[in-house]
Amino acid sequence: MKRIYLSLITAIALIGSVYADRLVIKGSDTLGAKLVPQLAEQFKAGHSGTTFDIAAEGSTTGIAAIIDGTAQIGMSSRRAKSSEVGAASAKGINMKPTVVAYDGIGVIVNANNPIKSLTKKQVEQIFTGDIADWSAVGGSGGKISIYTRNTSSGTYSEFKELAMKKRDYASGSQKMAGNEQIAAEVGKNPAGIGYVGMAYTKAGGVKVVSIDGAVPSVKSVQDHSYPYWRPTFYYTNGDPSGLAKEFLDFTLSSAGQKIVAQVGFVPIK
């Protein structure tokens, strides 16, 4: 009997030590596709034995993971909704946001599209379907093809809030799994338009249009003069501790923020 107890205690200790060096991060594709994996690689260089489990399936999944306790850090490209905060609060979870980087959501069109700039009103009209032909905004004509993120994406809802007065997307819009897919589709389709995080605006075959004369840049996002800027977050259950705190501190450090800039996001300082 004693042996059984001893084996159990040993197993629990082993599992605990393994979990202690493993960081589970879930959430935003915007953050999780490039930025966080590169931060993780750099972090591991100074923390041998640390492993990361990163799942980038949209901000909604990251916030849900904090609420149900299946991740230590939830990546999000939007603020938690009041319904999510309420659900967390009911379970005794304290959703704590930490701003880790800024992002500008760039509106992209095919590189061959003559359009160079749009107004905020035109962007709203295009993505809601009020305007369906490029000729209505000074283009060379043809039906506009709209590419958006899927509904679990933080960028999907953030763009509705920033650019569309919370109205619904046009019924014919095509929903893509990530920024790269949107950039790829717009790059192939001369009539395409979409939006991507700043890190993806330099994809081949696309170009960024200015919005009311402003383009997404480090300066315009940091001084908030570009209209479609947004903070991006790590969500934790209260103040982070242990490995999660170390990784968060690393992200906010000058070394971490240097990676933020290298990947195409805007550092917070």
Partner 1 sequence: MFKRVIYFMAAASFILGGVAAQAQDAGALLDLLVRKKLISDQEAEEVRSELTKQFTETPAGKWKMSTPITELEIYGDARLRYEYRGGETAGNVSQPNDWLERSRERYRLRIGLRGTLADDWFFGVRLETSQSNRSTNVTFGDDTSTTSGSTTTINGPFAKNSDGINVGQAYLGYKGFRDITLTGGKMPNPLVTTLMVWDADINPEGVAEQWKHTFTLNFGQSGLAQAEQSYSKDNKALAISKPASEPWSLKIDVFANFAQFVYDNTNPDNPVGPQKTTDGRLNPRIDAWMMAWQVGARFNFPKNYYFQVAPVLYNYAGNGDTFNVHFVGGDPSLSNSASLATNQSGINSLLFLEVPAEFGFKIGELPVRIFSDFAVNFNADDRARAAGFPDEGDQRYAFMIGAGIGQLKAKGDWQIQAWYQYTDQYAVDPNLVDSDIWDSRVNMKGVAVTGGYAISDAVIFNLTWGYAWRVDKRLGTGGTGDIGINPLDDYQIFQADLNVRF
What is the C-alpha separation between 195 and 201, in angstroms, rounded? 9
Instruction: Provide, rounded to whole angstroms, the least separation between the CB of residue 44 and partner 1.
Output: 26
Indicate the DSSP class of residue 245: H
Residues in 224-263 that interact with partner 1 by CB under 8 A? 224, 231, 233
Q: Does the footprint of partner 1 cover residue 133 (CB under 8 A)? A: no
85 scored as a contact of partner 1 (CB under 8 A): yes
Choose, by CB under 8 A, the member of 1, 5, 48, 166 that binds partner 1: 166
User: Nearer to partner 1 by C-beta: 47 or 167?
Assistant: 167
Residues 6+ apart with CB under 8 A from 128: 164, 167, 168, 169, 170
**Cβ-based nearer residue to partner 1, 47 or 96:** 96
80 touches partner 1 (CB under 8 A): yes
Contact string 138-157 vs partner 1 (x = CB under 8 A): --------------------
Closest separation in Å from C-beta 20 to partner 1:
27
Query: Got the DSSP string for 39-54?
Result: HHHHHHHHSTT-EEEE
Rounded to a whole number of angstroms, the distance between the first and last alpha carbons of the chain is 59
Tell me which residues touch partner 1 (CB under 8 A). 79-80, 82-83, 85-86, 89, 94-99, 102, 165-168, 224, 231, 233, 268
